Amino acid sequence: MIGLGKALRLMADYKSSRDRANTFRAAIRMPELVASSERMRFQFILDEFQELAGFDAFQAVRKGFGSIYTMLREEWQEQRRCNYIVSGSAVSLLRQITENPSAPFFQHFTPLHLGPLPEQEAVSLLAGFSRRSGAAIPERLCRRMIGLVGATPYYLQVLGEELVLAARDGKPDDNAWKRVCQRVLLQPSGRLYQYFELLHQKVAGRSSLLEKILVALSERPARGSEIAAAIGVTQNRLSSKLPLLEAQDVVVKQRGSYGLCDPCYALWLRAAHGPVSSVAAPLLLGEASERNVAREAARQGVGLVYQSRASRGAFDLLAVYQAAHIGVQVKKIAQFPVYVSEREIGRMRHDARALGWRAVLAFDSEDGVSFHAPASGRKTKRGRRYTQETALRHILDALEELPSGDSH
């Protein structure tokens, strides 16, 4: 292990060395030294390779060899037992480093573009590892996940892992998916929320204009004139900002329209910075009736979010107003009257009492959404009978009800 011994001595001497440039160069030579001495071959993979450009800000690098990439090219060309694969998420910057004729690494690498997985491969990824984990995600749910967040492996791995852990009795279902997606992607403590928050800070910085452009594009692709009109700026001002977002690989221009490259980032933008951020979870994850109820609740001035305990029990949604919590059970109906069994009403009352919430029924019909206190329905042999006359004038009127939903 002669080569390894030399390498260890080099590492020990690095801190005390005053000639940092030559010591740095010696460190780059170290793998080849070890490989030659031990008659081995090494394969290195350097991820986020474009970030090495930050070394050029150091005086020792500038004075010693001008550019980190120039020095790496010189050293790597002399190595025979080491091979290097470089990768990175900033595709435009990587192309500048490897495809620009004036760049040190021009034609040094063979480029391979890796985008999102094909849908069937993404389904296989989710289904395969979840099955091996003992909580197989159904193919239908796999496709629903991919349809919402895209087919980037990292997102699917994070969400799939959390879904497997959250699955009740080892059976991931739609309710578990809603809870996981809300917690991981739409809440500030979530892993993907924090990932996208860092990305957003890097992309938009403190520019409110860049953020407005991104939020506008999170809804759908648009032409420059449409973006300018949506955010209230001139096209001249907009045209100076769009190239900045294209250079960072978050926006792409296709057939005259601009769009976000990443559907999961678009989803996060709508939840974190969009005009409906307070009701993002049901609007983005819910069924059609839940989305209608969320919009009506928002119109009436309350915030509405999914909540894990609500999803598992009698309630589909949780409406939050100041310190008050209202559990909402959503029902799609054709017309009034509507009958709800005493057993179902009893379950709502039990869950509301246990959680300290108020309970509300939300009926979604072609005529719109109406909210009803459980106790307002007249008792019949078929169950509680609800009509248009039993509707609350406002969802917040439910706060006058007893926490359990019982009548006074």
Distances from the Cα of 383 to the Cα of 9, 313, 317, 343, 407, angstroms: 83, 20, 23, 9, 16
Average pLDDT over the chain, rounded to an integer: 88
Residue 17 has pLDDT above 90, yes or no: no
Residue 67 has pLDDT above 80, yes or no: yes
H helix runs in 250-329, sequence order? 263-273, 280-285, 288-299, 308-312
Residue 281 has pLDDT above 80, yes or no: no
- Count the alpha carbons within 13 Å of 228 in the hemisphere toward its beta carbon: 14
Whole-angstrom distance between the N-terminal and C-terminal Cα of the chain?
84
Q: Which residues pair with 43 in a beta bridge?
A: 83
pLDDT band per the 50, 70, 90 thresholds, residue 169: confident
Residue 407 has pLDDT above 50, yes or no: no
Distances from the Cα of 39 to the Cα of 1, 7, 27, 42, 400, angstroms: 10, 15, 19, 10, 81
Angle, helices 153-166/139-149, rounded to nearest 10 degrees: 130
Q: How many CB atoms lie within 10 A of CB 45?
A: 10
* Residue 327 contacts residue 348 (beta carbons within 8 Å): yes
Looking at 49-63, 80-94, 231-245, 298-312, which range is the least confident one?
Answer: 298-312
* Residue 174 contacts residue 166 (beta carbons within 8 Å): no
What is the layout of strands, in order, in the sheet containing 303-305?
303-305, 317-321, 324-332, 358-365, 368-372
- Type of residue found at 72: L
DSSP code of 242? H
Mean pLDDT of 75-101: 91
pLDDT band per the 50, 70, 90 thresholds, residue 308: very low
**What pTM, to 2 d.p., does this model score?**
0.70
CA 121 – CA 139 distance, rounded (Å): 12
Residue 169 exposed, middle or buried by CB count within 10 Å (0-12, 13-18, 19+) = exposed
pLDDT of residue 14: 59
Total residues found in the chain within this entry: 408
* Residue 130 contacts residue 164 (beta carbons within 8 Å): yes
Q: Which of 338, 337, 345, 395 has the alpha carbon at shortest distance from 375? A: 345
CA 142 – CA 158 distance, rounded (Å): 13
Mean pLDDT of 127-155: 95
